[in-house]
Amino acid sequence: MAMANNKTQCFKCNKEKITYPCEGCSQRFCFTDLTEHKQILNEELNHIINNYDEFKQRINEQKQNPQNHLLIKQINQWERSSIGKIQQKAQECRKLVIESSQVFINEIEIKFNYLSEQIKQIHKENEFNEINLSYLTNQLKTITEELNDPTKISIEQNSQSFINEISIISSIKQKWGKWKQNAMTVAAGNEQGEGLNQLKFPFGIFIDKKKNIFIADCWNHRIVKWKHNAKKGHIIAGGNGQGNRMDQLNEPTDVIVDQQDHSIIIADRGNRRVIRWAHRNQQILIHNTDCSRLTMDKHGFLYVSDTAKNAVRRWKMGEYNNEGIVVAGGNGKGDKLNQLNSPNFIFVDENQSVYVSDNENHRVMKWKKDAKEGTIVAGGNGQGRNLNQLSSPQGVIVDDLGQIYVADCYNHRIMRWYEGNEEGEIVVGGKDAGNKSNQFNHPSGLSFDDEGNLYVADFFNHRIEKFEIILRMEF
């Protein structure tokens, strides 16, 4: 005879067992879970009893101590909060004054150092007249007046509120600040490959005003344009296999956009040529050059670094049928101030000073216009990972304050140097090689967009990273 099945599902463990009802919640529990359920109810009862006792104690306390009334406490809290706000506001304003003053002093110091270099040059050449002296006097007077200008930083008071609030008003602008340490991948990042959502060892990058990214996709032998927020790029040059035909590229290492006609200019390194692409029409600008990287200044002059000749040359727009003018290096391979050793990325500032990543010398050099030798502005203390060293530097950019940003390739970090300082500082990276959002694996190209966000070509991770800027001060 079969045993009667009087088992039902336990509400707690959901198993078929002999169960018992709870009159309070109308659910059925097995013996084990019913015991636990009752224990929970007992704990809740004890909690209610404790709350009751606490409430009774509060009534007695308020009767005996009227100063502990809730409204009195609120008044006391208002008093403390008001004092705290004043102290906090004062501390914030002190910090802003110190930071703002430091930025201001740095700007003045840059101008003063530039003036000092002019004075040294004039004194060295021993050729000057009244016009030169008048110019130097006026320049010194100008920066002196700027240093002593009391309107640069002032206090503005608001007397309408009960607690007078103060805020810092400054005409000094913080050009670049700090960046988030975790990047967003804005192009590729899907391992190496030739798909439109992939890259294969990207070198140079260029960001236009619409935040479109132009990428020298080196081992895919193509230039890819990645529109802002796009999931994949599209090929705008090359992409027809490795070769030397006019519609082919061979390991391109850099790309820039000519703002005049919106064409792109490519360092087609494997073919030893600089080539212009405009709407699928190609034109070779420079032949037989070991072009490593390139850039263009605001006047339309084209600059190309030549690794074989250890030089940077400049060409005037439309005049590419000559050897160009040497603007840095060109005195053989070496580590003297008039030499370079495997130059790659270059940057040209408003004064046509040329900054060069002097790769094998592990330094960044600055060559002023028409200078016969350069000056070391970053690294130059041998290969290493100390803050005064670089290891095979790649991308280089200089901001409006003269701050120099360097892709410190073998140290997997981006550094910032102030010209004249003995050491640089780490901007992002520096966590050893890796593929996390705060790591690089041999960074190469660098670029800023108009908002100051930093873009990095992460070479061995086959991706482009974007670091959003954090503004330290608002004026």
Position 150 confidence tier, pLDDT thresholds 50, 70, 90: low
Which residue reads 């240093």 in tokens? Answer: 147
Residue predicted with more confidence, 460 or 138: 460
Write the CA distances from 410 to 134, 216, 307, 432, integer angstroms: 49, 20, 19, 9
pLDDT at 5 exceeding the cut of 70: no
Given 28, 46, 65, the domain boundary residue is 65
Range list of β-strands (E), 198-249: 202-207, 213-217, 222-226, 234-238
Q: H or E stretch including 131?
A: helix 130-147
Is 421 within a domain?
Answer: yes
pLDDT confidence of residue 2: 47
Position 167 confidence tier, pLDDT thresholds 50, 70, 90: low
Q: How many domains does the chain have?
A: 2
Residue predicted with more confidence, 380 or 107: 380
- Would you say 428 and 442 are in contact if contact means Cβ atoms under 8 Å apart? no
> Can you read off the two tokens belonging to residue 297?
């200044």
Is 168 within a domain?
Answer: no
Is 139 within a domain?
Answer: no
Asked if residue 273 and residue 395 are part of one domain, the reply reads yes
pLDDT at 1 exceeding the cut of 50: no
Residue type for 272, please?
A: R
What torsion do the CA atoms of 205, 209, 211, 215 make, to the nearest 10 degrees?
A: -20
The whole domain housing 420 covers 179-471
Residue predicted with more confidence, 280 or 34: 34
pLDDT confidence of residue 169: 56
Q: What does the alpha-carbon distance between residue 79 and residue 77 come to, in Å, rounded to a whole number?
A: 5
3-state secondary structure of 240: coil
pLDDT at 324 exceeding the cut of 50: yes
Is 438 within a domain?
Answer: yes
Q: What does the alpha-carbon distance between residue 10 and residue 13 come to, in Å, rounded to a whole number?
A: 6
Position 453 confidence tier, pLDDT thresholds 50, 70, 90: very high
Q: How many CB atoms lie within 10 A of CB 186?
A: 19
Window from 14-18, 233-237, 346-350, 463-467 with minimum mean pLDDT: 14-18
pLDDT confidence of residue 457: 98
Position 251 confidence tier, pLDDT thresholds 50, 70, 90: very high
Q: What mean pLDDT do residues 402-420 have?
A: 94
Q: What mean pLDDT do residues 256-265 have?
A: 88
pLDDT confidence of residue 102: 78
In this structure, what DSSP letter does residue 384 have? S
What torsion do the CA atoms of 65, 71, 75, 76 make, to the nearest 10 degrees?
A: 40
439: domain CATH number? 2.120.10.30
In this structure, what DSSP letter does residue 434 have? -
Position 193 confidence tier, pLDDT thresholds 50, 70, 90: very high
pTM of the full structure: 0.65
Q: What mean pLDDT do residues 230-235 have?
A: 95
Is 121 within a domain?
Answer: no
3-state secondary structure of 305: strand
Residue predicted with more confidence, 103 or 418: 418
pLDDT at 387 exceeding the cut of 50: yes
Q: Could you tell me which of 23, 17, 19, 49 has the C-alpha nearest to residue 34?
A: 19
- Would you say 450 and 209 are in contact if contact means Cβ atoms under 8 Å apart? yes
Q: What does the alpha-carbon distance between residue 192 and residue 189 come to, in Å, rounded to a whole number?
A: 8
> Can you read off the two tokens belonging to residue 65?
């101590």
Given 19, 48, 65, the domain boundary residue is 65
Close Cβ partners of 31 (under 8 Å, ≥ 6 residues apart): 17, 18, 20
Is 447 within a domain?
Answer: yes
Residue predicted with more confidence, 17 or 274: 274
Asked if residue 196 and residue 341 are part of one domain, the reply reads yes
Is 96 within a domain?
Answer: no
Q: What does the alpha-carbon distance between residue 137 and residue 438 come to, in Å, rounded to a whole number?
A: 49
Q: Could you tell me which of 247, 249, 220, 248 has the C-alpha nearest to residue 233?
A: 220
Backbone angles phi, psi at 172, to 5 degrees: -85, 130
Residue predicted with more confidence, 55 or 208: 208
Range list of β-strands (E), 380-442: 393-398, 403-408, 413-418, 425-429
Close Cβ partners of 98 (under 8 Å, ≥ 6 residues apart): none
Q: What does the alpha-carbon distance between residue 198 and residue 192 come to, in Å, rounded to a whole number?
A: 6
Is 108 within a domain?
Answer: no
Position 170 confidence tier, pLDDT thresholds 50, 70, 90: low
Name the burial class of residue 26, with classes exposed (0-12), middle (13-18) and buried (19+) by CB atoms within 10 angstroms of its CB.
exposed
Residue predicted with more confidence, 171 or 432: 432
pLDDT confidence of residue 199: 97
